[in-house]
Amino acid sequence: MKSKKSVFISVLIFFLLGNSIVGPVLGVEFRKNIFENNIIRESIDELPGDGVAPGDIIDISFSNLNPTLGEPVKISITLKGNPIGERFDEILLISDDYEGLIAKSNGIEWKAGNVTLDPVSVKIGRFPFYIKKIRWYPVVVGNHTLQIKAGSFPAKTKNVSVGFDVENIISPSIGQPSIITKSEELLVVVSEERHISESSLTIQHAELEDGDGSYILDNQTMRFCTWIHAGEGVVEDELIVSFNISSIPCGFYNLSITTLKDMYIWPHAVKIIESEPTEYMFVQLSDIHIGKNYNTINEKNELEDVIHYINKEIKPDFVVMTGDLVDWCKVKGNRNFFIELQDAILTCNSPVFTTPGNHDRYETGLFRLYRPFRNLLYYHEYLSPICDYGLEYGDINFLFLDSGHEYSRWEIKRKFWHPTPEASGLTNNQMYLLENELGNNQMHQIIFMHHPAVTEVDDSGLFAIPDNHPSGNEGCIAFNRIELINYSVDNNVSLVLVGHTHRNVIFNSSGENPSDIYEWPLFVQMGSSTLNGTGNGGRVVEIKDGKVESYKYVPLIYDKTLPPSFKR
C-alpha cells in the first residue's frame, strides 16, 4: 500500500505533466479563471461562433499589444477539443507581416518583410478545450500583423505595435557608433513618445562635440518620419534625418540632439574619417563581468588597463565587446555597473561596438535561481537601443547579433554537477534579417555574438537539446544553431567571433580543429578579457584588401610599473 507521501507526489507529478506539458483545459471554469486573472488581457476579434470543428481556433489572446523591443509577448491560443472522437495532432501556422526599422550597414531604414515562425503541433484529445501558449520575441520596432492559422477556418490576424523601451537617439550610440567618411551623410534616428494630440517629433538643435570644440549640424534633411501605437492615446514617433558633415574635421565626437521635449546625448557616437582603409585592425574583447561577486578583481580597472594598452600599442580602427559586459544589470548598493562600463569605454580612443550577453540581462545574483532573464532595458539605456545590426567597413560586412537569454541553466549530467548555460539563440525573425537585410555575401563577412554556435561535444542530460549536426552543441545557442552554421558556410563568412565560455578555442563548422588557419568559416571562442590577471587579453584581427589576414589572441597587459602619468 502506498504511503500518503508517495500518493501526494504521484498526484503532483500527474498535475504538472497534465497542465505544463500536455496543456488541456479541464472544463470551462478552469479556462474562465485563466482568462480572468490578468494572465491574458487582449483578445482577438471576429472569432468563429457555432459550427467550429475539433482543432479549430476558438480564442486567441495576447499579453500585450504594445510591447517594447525584446519584450516577450505571450500568445494563448485556445483550440476546440474532440470529446467524442479520436485524438489527433493539429498544426498551428504563424506568420509575421511587418514594417519597421532595420539597422542595415548603410544606416537604419523603414522596411517591410514577412517571417514564418516554426509550425507548432498541438495534441487534440477528448477534453473540451486545449490551450497552447507561445512566446513571441519581437526584434523589429514597427507595426506587425500576426496571422495564426489552424483547422478549417481562415487565419486569424492581430496587429501588434512594437516600440523602443527608451526615448533617445536610437542610432548612432556609444555601443553602436557611426564610422563615416566626410563624403557621407550622418544618419540619425530619434524615438520619442507623445500624446496623440501633441505635436510630432522634430529636431530643434543638433551638434557634434569633442574636447576641442563643438560643431552645429544645421543642414538637416528629413529621410523618414512615422509613428506607432504605444498605448491608449499614446504614440511613439520614429524620425530618421541626415546631416552633411563634409565641413567638420575628422575626429571622434559626442552627439547631442535637442527636441521640443528633451535633449539626448550619446558620447563617443560618431567617428569621422577621410576614407575607409583597405588595411586595418580591430580588437575583440569579451566577458568583462563588471560587478562580479565573490572575487577580489576590480573588473572596471582591469578593463581600463586593457583599453590603455589598446590605445597605446594597437590603435585599432574599432573595438568589439561580445557580451557579458556586466555581471548583472540592476544597481547594487550605490553601484550602477552599466555606468561603470560606460566610464571605462570612454577611455577608449577607438569606437566600441557591443552585443549583449546573458549576464547583461540578469536582475539577481548568481546564487539565486537562474530564471531566463530577458531584461535588456539597462543595455538599451546605457549602450545601444538596438541589438541586431550590420556595418560595412573596409570591404568587410560585420554582423552583430543578440544570441539570447539563458535557456536551460540547470542540467543533470553524468558528472552530476555540470551546469551548462545554453542560450535561447536566434529567433526566426533574426535569421530572416540576417538572410534578407543585414547579410551581404558579395563581401567577406564576420559575425559577432555572445554565445557559440559550435563546440566539440554534445550536450547531455535532462533538457539537453539533441540535433543531427556533426558539431557539438554544449553551451551553444539552442534555436537556429544549424541554420546559422549553414548560413556561415554558404554566405562567405570568415569568422564567427563569440565569448561566453571563457575559453580560447577555434573550430571549423563540424566542431573539429581546423586543418588550416583559413578554413572558413571558423567559429572562434574567446576567454574573459578581465578575469584572468596576467592572462587578460583580446583577439586582434587584421584585415587587408577585404580579407582576414590574422586573428590572434594576444595579452593586453601594459607595464603597471609605469607612473600614473602614462595612464589615460
End-to-end Cα distance, the chain: 76
Q: Which residue has the higher pLDDT, 245 or 72?
A: 245
The mean of the pLDDT values for the chain is 87
pLDDT of the residue at 159:
96
Domain with CATH 3.60.21.10 in the chain: 276-555
Instruction: Give, in order, the Cα–Cα distances in Å from 72 to each of 62, 370, 375.
Output: 11, 18, 10
As a whole number of angstroms, the distance between CA 515 and CA 495 comes to: 15
Q: Which of 199, 354, 202, 184 is nearest to 266 (CA)?
A: 354
For 520, phi then psi, to 5°, come to -70, 145
Burial class, 119, CB count within 10 angstroms (exposed 0-12 / middle 13-18 / buried 19+): exposed
CA atoms within 13 A on the CB side of 234: 12
Residue whose entry in the numeric block shows the C-alpha cell 558620447: 267
pLDDT band for position 17 (50/70/90)? Answer: very low
Domain with CATH 2.60.40.10 in the chain: 19-162
> What kind of architecture, by CATH, is found in domain 19-162?
Sandwich (2.60)
Omega before residue 172 within 30° of 0, cis: yes
As a whole number of angstroms, the distance between CA 151 and CA 155 comes to: 9
Q: What is the mean pLDDT of the segment spanning 405-434? A: 73
**Strand partners of residue 236:** 193, 228
Q: Which DSSP letter does residue 436 get?
A: I
Instruction: Give, in order, the Cα–Cα distances in Å from 4 to each of 9, 11, 403.
Output: 9, 11, 46
- What is the residue type of 54? P
As a whole number of angstroms, the distance between CA 510 and CA 83 comes to: 48
> What kind of architecture, by CATH, is found in domain 276-555?
4-Layer Sandwich (3.60)
Q: Strand 493-498 and strand 522-525: pairing?
A: parallel
And the C-alpha cell for 559?
Answer: 607595464
What's CA 216's distance to the chain center, in Å? 33
Q: What is the pLDDT of residues 165-214, one digit of tens each?
A: 999 999 999 999 999 999 999 999 999 999 999 999 999 999 999 988 99
**Strand partners of residue 49:** none
CA angle 401, 497, 390 (to 5 degrees): 35
pLDDT band for position 66 (50/70/90)? Answer: very high
Q: What is the pLDDT of residues 20-44, one digit of tens each?
A: 333 333 222 223 333 333 333 344 4
Give me the helices (H) in 310-396, please.
Answer: 337-345, 377-382
And the C-alpha cell for 340?
Answer: 561603470
pLDDT of the residue at 335:
82
| Least confident among 155-164, 360-369, 535-544 | 360-369
CATH for the 166-275 domain, from 2.40.30.170, 2.60.40.10, 2.60.40.4100, 1.10.3470.10: 2.60.40.4100
Asked if pLDDT for residue 475 goes beyond 60, the answer is yes
Prediction pTM value:
0.89
Q: Which DSSP letter does residue 455 get?
A: B
And the C-alpha cell for 458?
Answer: 554534445
Domain with CATH 2.60.40.4100 in the chain: 166-275
CB 390 within 8 A of CB 447: no
